Homo-oligomer: A and B are copies of this chain.
Amino acid sequence: MKENNAIKLKKIVLITGLLCLMLICDNVKAQQASWIWYPGDYSVWLSNKMQTRRTERGTFLPPFWKLYSPYPLMEFHKDFVLPGAEDASLYVEGQYNVSLDGKTIPGYPKIIHIAAGKHRISLKVYNDSSVPAIYLKSPHLVSDTSWLVTYEDKEWIDATGKTSDVSATKYMHADSWNFTDPAILPSTYHLPVRPENAVKIERKPHSLFVDFGKETFGYLKLNGIKGKGIVHVYYGESPYEAADTGRCELADKVAIDQNSGNYTFKGSRAFRYVTVYYSDNVSINNVSMLYEYSPVKQLGSFTCSDPEINKIWDVAAYTLHLNTREFFIDGIKRDRWVWSGDAYQSYLMNYYLFFDSPEVTHTLQALRGKDPITSHINTILDYTFYWFLGINDYYLYTGDKAFVEQNYQGMKTMMDFCLARRDSDGLVQGLPGDWVFIDWADGLSKQGEVSFEQVLFCRSLETVAECAKIAGDNAGAIKYADLAADIKEKIFKYYWNDQKHALVHSRIDGKPTDNVTRYANMFAIFFNYFDQAQKQDAKKYVLLNKNVPGINTPYMRFYELEALCAMGEQNYVLKEIKDYWGGMLKLGATTFWEEYNPTKKGAENYAMYGRPYGKSLCHAWGASPIYLLGKYYLGVKPASPGYHDYIVEPNLGSLQWMQGAVPTPHGKISVYCSTKQIKVSSNEGHGVLRFKSKTTPECKLGQITSKGDGVYELQLEKGKDYIINYDAI
């Protein structure tokens, strides 16, 4: 077939035109300008600010691990095409210059005039006290994560003025967050506050005892205060703590000299109760507070036929919200630090409550810090592994490939650190300077090669192997998968004990101990490292075996109950939740605790770390019912990254009915389930509803297929409201 030249020419013009249009359109898309910076640097900087706010009775108490810094000098650039001439407004945090097409614009321009056509804009920004950041906006050019950044552009010139080849310079995509207003500088970021009143104030001569009705967080405010003297403030999560002015964990004081007015304390504190002491010449009208909170939105929900479970879910949601600050922290009274193992559980709860991705990625970035790695994350062996696992889950729940790609190099160097610390058997153990944490548990052995650590190590290697594939490192994918397979083999070879029907706790000097603990066994269940027989063994001989030492922290109860749920023990787990979390409620908890041992009485419940009120009564890891109820009762979980595919497998345990919503990247999945009816709707992905029914279930929408043994499945499309009538087994 031949074309004549005229037609050819027309085609070329048309194609060229289309290409131009596509190029332009790519820039023409309505885009959101935001402040941008080097990936991770804002998290590093902001987490330093947050983690250095801890005080103990007014004394500064910073972390004992390394804090990192942002790169002080940054290059930002972007290649783009403009359909017509435009003026771009520029805002910069730092000292800067701007080049357009390699030509520097004099001075510190605030408006950049750009002609139509193809261009490169680049900026160099120096800022040694916060994070080098820029905000740029014209109709068709905005600062966003498509910009490239580097901390060393290596762009030198030779003696003739010729510019070097910078093709070897390593660029990353810029990071942004929700800073879309140029007037709000990233360096001025702070959480919002709102005024809250006390519910009860007891007045005594020169003192007030204030109750805010529930655990809270923020800035105490003394209203209508006048006179000259000192005001001492003693905070308490319990009334005992606030009253015990000599031993409470948090205290403040201020010298007052004024005729009237209010005084708000500078430091944010966790408390429910406050004792305020003031000297003779001072009077105080009232005490209130500015409640400081993260503006994350509560998208997940859960209600059911059991009011106690509903209360537990609500208190868990409040507990998680209080501990969701600039980053996921451990507890609001102390440490207010970012702990990887604690945060790992918050990530998972977050997927069932806020689905706030930046909260997860910022926390992961803050924990990772920067190379070189000189210590485990938070100094804890297990906590390094949870960091990898956090990325694994983050990708599964959100499908955010870009994050994995940007962070793969950091995963590799983190794993290199771990690999370099293996012993002669290729296993990990605590070396000098490493903290083998596992859990707060009396007499728990940390010696030798602990099986639990190998399980987390194996899962971490699997995670890096998967991320290697996403990042296009095929050799890495094979290498890390092989290493994982080797560890998995060793887990069974070294630790499985046929007599004990379980993995033993550790090897010491190369010899397995015969100590059985719950840790490795419960992880091996929900990681699917165990086969069915091993799972049943572990359930019987470990999880349901009262002779194996129990768990006294909500932290490890999370995994213990998850393992049981993964094996269909929702009925048993519901009772455990009611006992354990209900037990805290019965003791007056308004948020869930760092540790709860039902055998302890009265003031014993508040002691920890050798201090009478050392225990945190609002600890993120206390909130796990959020996760368990969403994932294993409503039964919603992603089956492929980002809920592209998902499963809904409702399980009532012993409930009569339940209903709730699970947030997803672009919407939510709503589930109602009683013993007779299931209702599901979603605006995301493609789902499979799996349930058991004594009778043949009915649904007007879609085709229910029987999988045998009373199991049925229904394919779910988004935007449809499925109602299934069935008869629960």
A interface residues (Cβ-Cβ under 8 A, vs B) = 45, 48-49, 52, 56-73, 95-97, 104-108, 124, 126, 128-129, 151-162, 164-170, 371-372, 374-375, 379, 431-433, 435, 440, 442, 595, 608-611, 614
Copies of this subunit: 2
CB distance B66 to A69 under 8 Å?
no
Contacting A609 at CB < 8 Å: which of B126, B160, B432? B160
Q: How far is the CA of A375 from the CA of B170 in the complex (A)?
A: 11
Q: How far is the CA of A397 from the CA of B152 in the complex (A)?
A: 34
CB contacts (< 8 Å) of A67 on chain B: these are 71-73, 126, 151
User: Please, which residue of chain B has its CB at the minimum distance from the CB of A375?
Assistant: B152
| A contact patch SS | loop
User: Please, which residue of chain B has its CB at the minimum distance from the CB of A165?
Assistant: B432
Contacting A154 at CB < 8 Å: which of B65, B128, B156? B65
CB distance A152 to B64 under 8 Å?
yes
CB contacts (< 8 Å) of A73 on chain B: these are 48, 52, 62-63, 66-67
User: Please, which residue of chain B has its CB at the minimum distance from the CB of A371?
Assistant: B372
User: Please, which residue of chain B has its CB at the minimum distance from the CB of A439?
Assistant: B159
User: Please, which residue of chain B has its CB at the minimum distance from the CB of A66?
Assistant: B152
CB contacts (< 8 Å) of A126 on chain B: these are 48, 52, 60, 62, 67
CB contacts (< 8 Å) of A97 on chain B: these are 59-62
User: Please, which residue of chain B has its CB at the minimum distance from the CB of A169?
Assistant: B433
Q: How far is the CA of A71 from the CA of B371 in the complex (A)?
A: 13
Contacting A106 at CB < 8 Å: which of B58, B62, B153, B432? B58
Contacting A70 at CB < 8 Å: which of B59, B69, B70, B160? B69
CB distance A72 to B57 under 8 Å?
no
CB contacts (< 8 Å) of A58 on chain B: these are 106-107
CB contacts (< 8 Å) of A45 on chain B: these are 128
CB distance B64 to A153 under 8 Å?
yes
CB distance A57 to B609 under 8 Å?
no
User: Please, which residue of chain B has its CB at the minimum distance from the CB of A150?
Assistant: B66
Q: A58-B106, A107-B59, A432-B165 are in contact. Are A65 and B152 (CB under 8 A)?
A: yes
Q: How far is the CA of A104 from the CA of B157 in the complex (A)?
A: 54
User: Please, which residue of chain B has its CB at the minimum distance from the CB of A379?
Assistant: B154
Q: How far is the CA of A608 from the CA of B161 in the complex (A)?
A: 8
Contacting A124 at CB < 8 Å: which of B62, B104, B164, B608? B62
User: Please, which residue of chain B has its CB at the minimum distance from the CB of A373?
Assistant: B372
Q: How far is the CA of A66 from the CA of B74 in the complex (A)?
A: 8
Contacting A161 at CB < 8 Å: which of B72, B432, B609? B609
CB contacts (< 8 Å) of A154 on chain B: these are 64-65, 375, 379, 433, 435
